[in-house]
A = this chain, B = another copy of it.
């Protein structure tokens, strides 16, 4: 069975929404990605770093789901990355109230021996030098390398970012970031420019407006499921990426046709994540719930028009 390796952050998140305020809970891209990918029951591992304040029970939630945590460095006496944010009434905008980088400042990723030949590698949104470092530790080039990034790295580490982009197959990026990366307002043109940087597939995340997948001259669109209530959007983008790579690792088909399926799977898992605080909903999500909602995605978009 093929394996998935995830580079990402592990954090404590404190979240305020119009519906309430969370305690300091399990957060960070690596947790969201791994818990989403675990829905597909594949062997996965995380490369990340925490302080000794990070509870063993959070790590247990991962190992119970076949997620190898041996690549998560625990810094004795160190403090785990902390983030707190507040959402506005429309849930589409948030303010970061506090970020304490803590141990992640000195993070030197080490890929566990057993995952250096992982078939799929997801480079979460971290400093491009960390992404490059992990990529270089692989004993063979993964079949699929996916990266996430953000505007901060475009502003501060442009050259290095370009080097990483040139070595990956898939980039996931939100619409604003795609525009900033390319200076193109049209997402079609932006995607074309990103592909010219050496990427095979460009996935543009538009939040509640769904996600676009570009490949060569082709484009596919996965809508977000229209929901009566969005409780907490934190992590939805990571969960989307995690569901996508989980499905791809499971099916081992990296064609455009299957990437389409993968982003629908990602959108599906993400639609659950936003129903509760943080990653809470992912911990109870069942295979049957997922499958039932996939049918809703199908009903949402499938039509039977005559081409006349």
List residues of chain A with CB under 8 Å of any chain B CB: 89-91, 185-189, 192, 206, 209-210, 212, 218-223, 226-230, 257, 260-261, 264-265, 291, 294-295, 298-308
A226-B219, A308-B291 given; A261·B185 CB < 8 A: no
> Which of chain B's residues have a CB closer than 8 A to the CB of A218?
299
> Which of chain B's residues have a CB closer than 8 A to the CB of A223?
210, 221, 223, 301
> Which of chain B's residues have a CB closer than 8 A to the CB of A89?
185
A230 touches B295 (CB 8 A): no
> Which of chain B's residues have a CB closer than 8 A to the CB of A226?
187-188, 212, 219, 221
* Contact residue among B192, B209, B229 (Cβ-Cβ distance under 8 Å from A186): B229
A229–B265 Cα distance when bound, in Å, is: 30
A33–B304 Cα distance when bound, in Å, is: 24
How far apart are A167's CB and chain B's nearest CB, in angstroms?
26
B300 touches A220 (CB 8 A): yes
How far apart are A308's CB and chain B's nearest CB, in angstroms?
7
- How many identical chains are in the complex? 2
A-B contact pairs, 15 of them (CB 8 A): A188-B227, A209-B209, A209-B210, A219-B299, A220-B299, A221-B300, A221-B301, A222-B303, A223-B301, A257-B304, A260-B303, A261-B303, A264-B303, A301-B301, A302-B302
**19 extra A-B contacts, CB within 8 A, seeds A91-B185, A192-B228:** A90-B185, A186-B227, A186-B228, A186-B229, A188-B227, A206-B209, A209-B210, A210-B223, A212-B226, A218-B299, A219-B226, A220-B300, A220-B303, A222-B303, A257-B304, A260-B303, A264-B303, A294-B307, A301-B302
* Contact residue among B222, B300, B302, B307 (Cβ-Cβ distance under 8 Å from A219): B300
B188 touches A228 (CB 8 A): yes
A182–B192 Cα distance when bound, in Å, is: 40
A185-B89, A206-B209, A210-B223 given; A261·B295 CB < 8 A: no
> Which of chain B's residues have a CB closer than 8 A to the CB of A222?
303
A263–B137 Cα distance when bound, in Å, is: 50
> Which of chain B's residues have a CB closer than 8 A to the CB of A210?
209, 223
A189 touches B298 (CB 8 A): no
> Which of chain B's residues have a CB closer than 8 A to the CB of A219?
226, 299-300
